[in-house]
Amino acid sequence: MKLRVERDALADAVAWTARTLPKNAGPRSGIMLEAENDSITLSSSDSDVSGLARVEAAVEAPGSVLVSGRLLADIARALPNAPVTIDIDSKVKLTCRRSTFTLPLLPTEDYPPIPELPPFIGKVSGPQFAQAVAQTQIAASRNDGGQVVFTGIRLEVAGELLTMAATDRFRLAVRELPWSPEQVDAEASVIVPGRSLAEAARSLGHADAIRLALGDDERLLGLSGGEQQFTTRLLDGEYPKFRSLLPTSFSTHVRVDVAELSEAIKRAALVTERNHAVRLHITEGEIRLEAGAGSETESEEFVEARLDGEPISIAFNPQYLLDGLTALDKPTAEMRCNEPGKPVVFVGTEEPAGDPDDSYQYLLMPVRI
């Protein structure tokens, strides 16, 4: 096996496939290199996820080989920006300008085959998909607490609408976006591991379109964008009926500049102890923020706001509040409230008096004052 490939293309492909490498050493810790025709394919897999990337290459002699994935990733990043020659004999030899690396071969007998992509069910804009995953994944639980479904992202397709949702039981993020199904009456509902999906979406987001693949029997979700593909096992379990958690009527609406409120929260949170709340007192024309770690250390901030409805005093975990404001990705936020103690829904808008964008909703439970 011998080939020549551009350094940047190789480094990107290695970085993509290395995402799915297991932490423990063994056959699964390797990256498979397969050269044929005018390309080289790199693939890796653990028991749950797999990654594959294909790049153009000048192949002199086809073949396949398994090498240490993390070592190859470190080397590929460090190589100078010049074509790389990969030559395989009893070892793997990488040459780039005046740099040469020699790597041992790993045995391929116990290397697991990469799962084949299930049937494609539709496609969606790459940038929109990546944004939607990022917006919902912030609400997924970092620790399953015995219920692994809360670490996942609920993905639903119904006709030409794709919906993602995630919750850790303290907050809920829901994003709807258009997509192009293979069949107009397509319907599916699955729970995808949140962290794995987020990592894949960040890398695939540059693609004009991402194709979704879903298999009923394999319990497998696949994503394909450009020359990269990804598969992950789905999570089993009953997901909450999240739509019923979103209120449909509110007694108070508040419009506020996202940047101004975010900066005020950050300053106020400087004097709070870990996980202590920031208090918001909302009246006509302003929001007064209060925070403190006791009677000796306190902070107070004022932010301009437009109130429509009844004044309200409410408190939030400052980090959860900042997460939601950032995820809106809009200059203005609309807070939709009912009486204290009830969940608050945040949506974004481009203009202070513009129409709200309900395609993304961030629900946050307040903290008792």
State the DSSP string of 24-72: S-SGGGEEEEEEETTEEEEEEE-SSEEEEEEEE-EEEE-EEEEEEHHHH
Q: Sorting pLDDT into bands at 50, 70 and 90, what band is 293?
A: low
Do the Cβ atoms of 41 and 31 come closer than 8 Å? no
Q: Mean per-residue pLDDT for 259-271?
A: 94
Domain at 120-244, CATH class:
alpha beta
Domain at 246-364, CATH class:
alpha beta
Tens-digit pLDDT profile for residues 169-187: 999 999 999 999 998 888 9
Spell out the alpha helix ranges (H) of 122-232: 126-137, 194-204
Please say whether the dihedral angle defined by the alpha carbons of residues 98, 101, 102 and 108, taken in this order, is positive or negative.
Answer: negative
Domain borders along the chain are 2-103, 120-244, 246-364
Q: Do domains 120-244 and 246-364 have the same CATH topology?
A: yes
Instruction: Count CB neighbours of 237 within 10 A.
Output: 12
Q: Mean per-residue pLDDT for 59-69?
A: 94
Ordered DSSP codes for 218-253: TTEEEEEETTEEEEEEPPPSPPP-GGGGS-S--SEE
Q: Is the pLDDT of residue 26 over 70?
A: no
Percent of the chain with pLDDT over 70: 96
What percent helix, strand, coil does the chain show, rounded to 5? 20, 45, 35
Residue 25 confidence (pLDDT): 60
Residues 6 or more apart whose CB falls under 8 angstroms from that of 281 comprise 287, 288, 289, 290, 311, 313
Q: What's this model's pTM, rounded to 2 decimal places?
A: 0.92
Q: Is the pLDDT of residue 67 over 90?
A: yes
The CATH number of 2-103 is which of 1.10.3720.10, 3.30.1330.10, 3.10.150.10, 3.40.109.10?
3.10.150.10
Q: Sorting pLDDT into bands at 50, 70 and 90, what band is 233?
A: very high
Higher-pLDDT residue of 114, 294: 114
What residue has token string 């994503």? Answer: 223
